[in-house]
Amino acid sequence: MQFTCFHLMPYRPLDMEERAKHRSAWVVLPNTLYDPERGAEQYESYLNQLTSAESLGFDVIGVNEHHQTAYGMMPAPNLIASALIQRTKNIRIAILGRALPLTNNPIFIAEELAMLDTLSRGRIIAGFVRGIGTEYHATGINPAHSHERFQEAHDLIVAAWTRPGPFEFEGEHYNFRYVNLWPRPYQRPRPPIWIPSQGSSETVRWAAAPERKYPFLVTFSAFDLVKRYLTTYADQARQYGYEPSGGQLGWAVPIYVADTDEQAKKEAGSAIESLFNNFLPNPWEMLLPPGYMSLSSMKATMKARRSLGSRPRTQTADDLISSGTALIGSPKTVVEKIKRMQDETGFDNLVSMLQFGTLSDELTNRNMQMFASEVMPHLR
């Protein structure tokens, strides 16, 4: 199994009482609630945590992109990746991912990732995403064009990495007379591409296609849902006529280990609740702007939502643990759950989030060490 140490870099000092006065921790949360000094402390802690992943034996460090939110302080994940390149030697660095539709010039993304790949001598993994729905409020990009822009930007970036330049790119949203990267990526033909996703069937079909075989990471979902999405991907691959590798099947999940299940829950309970109840929730107008999903998927989603009631549900640590949305417990418990997913899906690509919500540095460091020494060896 391949292990990624993934981080969102949340703004932990957030005043949750003030947060509760706003509809979301994204886009509309006044940045007067952000303190630059505390922000600098967060970056320092988080960079130290990610750097330590190398000596702890992780295979990959993962960073990600979100905009205008206390949920994650990485609007420009490439900057963090660049800092990590300087602090590490061999570990791979995954940018999970860049939100392609949000930029008007995807060549910039191709260029920056080629630079990072070169600076790191080929240690970069490129994640491509569309961003979550709030990103379209934050950037003004029309969500109606989200899918089209993603496809086109992807095609442009891959071509820029692999086709001899200069060449011309002619698209609907992007048109360039000259595409000619200097530098080109260090890896040949290009850095690996991973696709983090919430599991839309369109994305699964596209990522699994034989000409791509992009590893597919299911993020922040209940155990059964993760299993269903990974199975869908594997089935899709078989329909395409090939057997997917375990590395193509990824699960991104918050994990916390301590000596006993009780202790783990006691130490991480409030932090995991802050992630799901304070940092993450969005009203559907922000999370699913029209066009972010196809009209038919959206109709089905809204129908399901109407039957559940529209009020967002507060999730307790117990809910999150029992649904398998977060893995919190003794090393034995956590190993068993991961093994169960492995048995049931064949997945081999674990993206662990070992700091989440308000989890302190001390607990995070202990969690990382224990995960590395008492979970990873049983799964290697």
Q: 285-318: string of b/e by CB count within 10 Å (b at 16+)?
A: ebbbbebbbeeeebeeeeeeeeeeeeeeeebebe
Pairing type for strands 60-63 and 249-257 reads unpaired
Binding mask 237-276 for other proteins (x = CB under 8 A): ----------------------------------------
Report whether 63 contacts 95 (CB < 8 A).
yes
Of the residues 67, 123, 137, 337, which one makes contact with other proteins according to CB under 8 A? 137
Report whether 57 contacts 376 (CB < 8 A).
yes
CB-side exposure of 8: number of CA atoms within 13 Å? 27
Of the residues 9, 126, 141, 237, which one makes contact with other proteins according to CB under 8 A? 141
177 or 306: CB nearest other proteins = 306
Binding mask 22-51 for other proteins (x = CB under 8 A): -x---xx-----------------------
Q: What is the three-class DSSP state of 61? A: strand
Task: Give the position of tokens 């330590």.
Answer: 52
Binding mask 298-317 for other proteins (x = CB under 8 A): xx--xx--x---x-------
Of the residues 30, 140, 164, 210, which one makes contact with other proteins according to CB under 8 A? 140
The residue ranges of DSSP E strands in the chain, in sequence order, are 2-6, 60-63, 92-99, 124-129, 167-170, 175-179, 193-197, 216-219, 249-257, 327-329, 349-353
19 or 213: CB nearest other proteins = 19
Of the residues 82, 103, 118, 142, which one makes contact with other proteins according to CB under 8 A? 142
297 or 342: CB nearest other proteins = 297
Examine residue 286 and tell whether it contacts other proteins (CB under 8 A): yes
Report the nearest approach of other proteins to the CB of residue 285 (Å). 6
Q: How many Å apart are CA 325 and CA 276, to the nearest integer?
A: 10
196 or 281: CB nearest other proteins = 281
212 or 303: CB nearest other proteins = 303
Query: Which of 121, 327, 91, 125 is closest to 215 using CA atoms?
Result: 125
Residues that bind other proteins (CB under 8 A): 23, 27-28, 136-137, 140-144, 283, 285-286, 289-291, 295, 298-299, 302-303, 306, 310
